[in-house]
Chains A and B, each alone.
Chain A
């Protein structure tokens, strides 16, 4: 693979082989040498492999962060659903975490958690909290009183009402929140490169390296595709999980 680029070595070690040195002029430069060329197909098809590991890293970061964020935010919402006074503080608290730019968050955590994935996961999870919390709360809040009354009438305990009536009816909003959280986190995870956690950001900003449009577009494009892909899967899961819903009410 690489030897195609170098010529056969000559007898003298230390001297590069014939044909190693290439004469380049402005016209013979390949497409990717010019930053004005938006997309170079040849380079793209040849080098798509480069994006494999970074994409996988980013995917992992996002999935883990969203799962952790969901677990925490869901728990928060359940507490707040029971104890009203918690609602505003939790909303405000998660809102604060949401508002802090992720790159700042990464760097604030680095001295404490050290370089790498843990830092990124903590920051990304924190980012998802408000989205998921708010959506779960909304979902629970939108449950019609009539449904709860019927359940009470049937002798359900409060816990049973929560798990058998309220939560199932809140599924669209909850999944809606998950979808938004995942898409947003996927976009933000490109910044994980600043936490030294890998990801597609490594192909966009490599700190002094050759940044050029084709690589940026491919990296960004893959991130977008993954985001929309997961979004679509979650949406379908939601449709299956709520067969009683004829019209899916999508939370914006």
Chain B
């Protein structure tokens, strides 16, 4: 029965794709150079990982301190939420195309733009996460003699971690998805397979889609695991109730 299932037209397309992932294939374009194969897949995947991680770190560097500061002060809700809203509305395709034609093709420009796309969710979630910390708790800690900075670091930040991590995960989804179409701006990631039907054929396109999905899920699982680790035990117990 498995054989019958596997030869169903639905899956026939996918077996071609899997072959593409693991071994080099003849390209449709004559010239003899083979394409695909696990080496190229890993190479492109690595570029996408690099791009995404750097962009994410840059976004966190900008957004978390800002979110912590404004959340602690209690000011700027409109801006923080507004940026979150507006950022979510930016179409990734437009951002990438604009990078390609205006800033130019290349890695640094892309890291910058991807980071920009990642800032809004992290900023908003950090802000909201800090704001939601019980004021009584904050006052109590001040009463215990902690400085403002210590309050942020030892009280508000840990309590805001779930919210911040949600923001980071949201940002990562956005960044990884946009990094997929980075080939439009000259940086070759797994999206090269998806966009390059000319060269890689239908199998290549499907292979690209599969690999991209797997990569995105790997990021998601990693971050979910990280979130679990970072959420302090007390909070976890509270959430489980």
Contacts and interface: CB of A to CB of B under 8 A. Distances in A.
A and B touch in the complex (CB under 8 A): yes
Contacts of A102: 177
Given A108-B213, A252-B128, A223 B89 contact: yes
B70 interface: no
A220 B91 contact: yes
B219 A99 contact: yes
Most chain B CB inside 10 Å of its own CB: which residue of A101, A190, A212, A224: A101
Contacts of A180: 88
Interface string B47-79: 000000000000000000000000000000000
Given A223-B89, A231-B85, A252-B124, A104 B97 contact: no
B91 A223 contact: yes
A98 B173 contact: yes
Interface string A195-229: 00000110011000001110011011001100110
Contacts of B208: 104, 107
A250 interface: yes
B216 A183 contact: no
Contacts of A140: none
Contacts of B118: none
A96 interface: yes
The DSSP consensus for interface residues of chain A is: helix
Contact of B92 (A35, A190, A213): A190
B186 to A, nearest CB: 13
Nearest to B224: A95
A228 B85 CA distance: 8
B173 A99 contact: yes
Interface residues of B, number: 45
Given A213-B101, A216-B101, A223-B89, A100 B94 contact: no
A217 B86 CA distance: 15
Contacts of A186: 89, 91
Given A103-B181, A104-B213, A108-B210, A38 B93 contact: no
A57 interface: no
Interface residues of A, number: 47
A101 B216 contact: yes
17 contacts: A35-B101, A99-B176, A103-B180, A103-B181, A104-B210, A107-B209, A180-B88, A190-B94, A191-B93, A201-B91, A201-B93, A205-B97, A211-B100, A212-B101, A220-B91, A228-B89, A252-B81
Interface of A: 35-36, 38, 95-96, 98-108, 111-112, 180, 183-184, 186-191, 193-194, 200-201, 204-205, 211-213, 216-217, 219-220, 223-224, 227-228, 231, 250, 252
